[in-house]
């Protein structure tokens, strides 16, 4: 399998290097066009995300190897002073396929099992298709990678569980309240952290989200973005604490934004109905004493990190299952590659027999009626099909090593006296 991958990623280079070689979609299209036009590649694809820029190339010339491609990319990005070949990884043949399968199934990601990478691989393939740089090999490779990722997602738990603080907050809330759409949520602080948490809550069907912020316009903007359009003035939101089942705080304060007496009063008004407070602020926004109140669940960032750690541990435990799926798909992909090598012989074999059939039928063309000729043709087709079935099956049959393919091909070519094949690509 003559396919090379080179690139920089979070395992081989720091972010200062990765950002130097990264390619936007427009740049990737231009880069791929150059590779094809300069006959450097028969097929090529660029995968460029915030954590990696990787090339997948079927070489167009014998001198094109990993080092050649590294150099080409460094030159293209004009970063010879900052980026060195040592920052790149380099894979060949089956290892390239394995690498792409690992990337697509998110086990090569910075955050194990993150959900975005498959979409990014699909985008990379789309760009390759649009620039007509994806041929038979890359197309098959990418589709197998998508299939691997799908199997990994459905058959393992590698993508399960929250691995970010804001998702962990939602996961925890769902373990206390079964249906977030029935719960009233207060978001104190419309900054980046609060916004992310509110959006995750929204994704889990929470619709009754009220936002309060020192700058009211910011709260209104977020409420509008979420489509809830519910805001409370920062000066008076504490009077409404008892109305909320979930309170998320993410503000910058020197003193605690929520204190124990305020929550004690609100709990009395709620007649002990449970409340969860997710303190995502740093420094903490909520008096830790509040956590001691009855039916009160107070969780800060450190608490939520326990959930993240547990989920990451669970994901790591799934790695052997993922590797098994990759191994199986890799074996199938290898077999398909082998069938590519026997394809010319199969085509030659079929052509040879068709030629014989047509020559023989031609001898009878004017000796029999049209109806009889059609019958003879059908009969010949059936006989040919049966004769060719076994040799073709034998050629396509899985082999232990790619080395045994030439002998199999030569055997068939000799038996059926097929013309010499120009080359048998290895």
Partner 1 sequence: MDNTMLDNTLLLLLIQLIPLLYILSTGLYGADFFRGTSFAKTYKQPALIITIVTHVAFIGFLTAPEGYRLNYSSSMIMNMVALTLGVVYMFIEFSTKTDKTGFFVLSFATGAQVLASFILSTSPEGGRVFSGIGIGIHLFSAIFSLSAIAIAGLYSFLYILLFRQIKNNSFGFLFENLPSLEVLEELIKHAVAFGFLFLTITILAGVIGTTQSSKVINLFDPKLIALLIMWLLYGVILFIRRLFGWDTIHTAYLLIALFACITGLVVLMSIFSPTFHGMSF
Query: Which residues form the interface with partner 1 (CB under 8 A)?
Result: 161, 172, 174-179, 270-274, 294-295, 297, 299, 303, 306-307, 310, 314
Active site residue 142: no
**In the complex, minimum distance from the CB of residue 157 to partner 1, in angstroms, rounded to a whole number:** 9
For residues 156 and 150, give the distance between their C-alpha atoms in angstroms, rounded to a whole number.
Answer: 10
Q: In this complex, which beta carbon is closest to partner 1, that of residue 314 or of residue 424?
A: 314
**In the complex, minimum distance from the CB of residue 167 to partner 1, in angstroms, rounded to a whole number:** 13
Q: In this complex, which beta carbon is closest to partner 1, that of residue 77 or of residue 270?
A: 270
- Are 311 and 161 in contact by the 8 Å Cβ rule? The answer is yes
Q: What is the CA radius of gyration of the chain?
A: 31
50, 272, 368, 383: the catalytic one is 50
Question: Exposure string (b/e) for 217-253, b if CB count within 10 Å is 16 or more?
Answer: ebbbbbbeebebebbbebeebbeebbebbbbbbbbeb
**In the complex, minimum distance from the CB of residue 392 to partner 1, in angstroms, rounded to a whole number:** 38
**In the complex, minimum distance from the CB of residue 188 to partner 1, in angstroms, rounded to a whole number:** 22
Residues 6+ apart with CB under 8 A from 365: 373
Maximum CA extent, the chain: 109
Q: In this complex, which beta carbon is closest to partner 1, that of residue 81 or of residue 178?
A: 178
Q: In this complex, which beta carbon is closest to partner 1, that of residue 195 or of residue 279?
A: 279
DSSP 111: S
Question: Token digits for 14?
Answer: 């720091």
**In the complex, minimum distance from the CB of residue 299 to partner 1, in angstroms, rounded to a whole number:** 8
The residue whose two tokens read 């590294």 is 70
Question: Exposure string (b/e) for 374-389, b if CB count within 10 Å is 16 or more?
Answer: eebeeebeeeeeeebe
Q: In this complex, which beta carbon is closest to partner 1, that of residue 55 or of residue 276?
A: 276
Catalytic residues: 50
């Amino acid at each position: 399998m003559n396919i090379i991958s080179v690139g920089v990623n979070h395992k081989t280079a720091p972010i200062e290097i990765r950002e130097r070689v990264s390619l936007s979609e427009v740049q990737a299209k231009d880069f791929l066009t150059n590779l094809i036009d300069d006959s450097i590649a028969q097929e090529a694809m660029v995968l460029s995300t915030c954590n990696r820029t990787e090339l997948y190339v079927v070489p167009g010339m014998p001198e094109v190897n990993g080092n050649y491609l590294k150099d080409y990319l460094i030159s293209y990005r004009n970063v010879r002073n900052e980026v060195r070949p040592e920052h790149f990884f380099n894979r060949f043949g089956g290892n390239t396929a394995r690498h792409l399968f690992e990337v697509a199934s998110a086990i090569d990601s910075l955050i194990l099992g993150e959900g975005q990478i498959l979409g990014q691989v699909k985008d990379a393939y789309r760009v390759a298709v649009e620039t007509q740089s994806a041929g038979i090999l890359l197309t098959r490779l990418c589709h197998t990678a998508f299939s691997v990722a799908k199997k990994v997602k459905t058959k393992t738990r590698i993508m399960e569980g929250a691995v970010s603080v804001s998702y962990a907050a939602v996961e925890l809330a769902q373990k206390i309240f079964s249906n977030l759409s029935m719960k009233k949520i207060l978001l104190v602080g419309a900054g980046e952290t609060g916004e992310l948490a509110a959006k995750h809550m929204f994704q889990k069907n929470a619709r009754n989200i009220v936002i309060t912020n020192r700058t009211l316009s910011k709260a209104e903007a977020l409420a509008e973005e979420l489509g809830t359009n519910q805001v409370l003035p920062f000066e008076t939101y504490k009077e409404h604490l008892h109305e909320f089942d979930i309170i998320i705080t993410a503000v910058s304060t020197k003193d605690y934004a929520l204190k124990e007496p305020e929550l004690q009063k609100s709990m009395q008004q709620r007649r002990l109905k449970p409340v969860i407070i997710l303190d995502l602020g740093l420094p903490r926004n909520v008096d830790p004493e509040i956590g001691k109140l009855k039916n009160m669940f107070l969780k800060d960032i450190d608490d939520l990190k326990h959930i993240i750690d547990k989920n990451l541990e669970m994901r790591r435990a799934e790695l052997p299952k993922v590797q098994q799926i990759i191994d199986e798909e890799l074996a199938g992909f290898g077999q398909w590659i082998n069938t590519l090598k026997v394809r010319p012989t199969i085509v030659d074999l079929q052509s040879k027999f068709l030629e014989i059939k047509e020559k023989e039928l031609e001898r009878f063309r004017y000796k029999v009626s049209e109806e009889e000729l059609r019958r003879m043709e059908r009969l010949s087709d059936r006989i040919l099909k049966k004769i060719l079935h076994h040799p073709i099956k034998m050629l396509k049959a899985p082999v232990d090593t790619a080395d045994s393919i030439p002998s199999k091909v030569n055997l068939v070519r000799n038996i059926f006296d097929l013309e010499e094949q120009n080359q048998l690509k290895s």
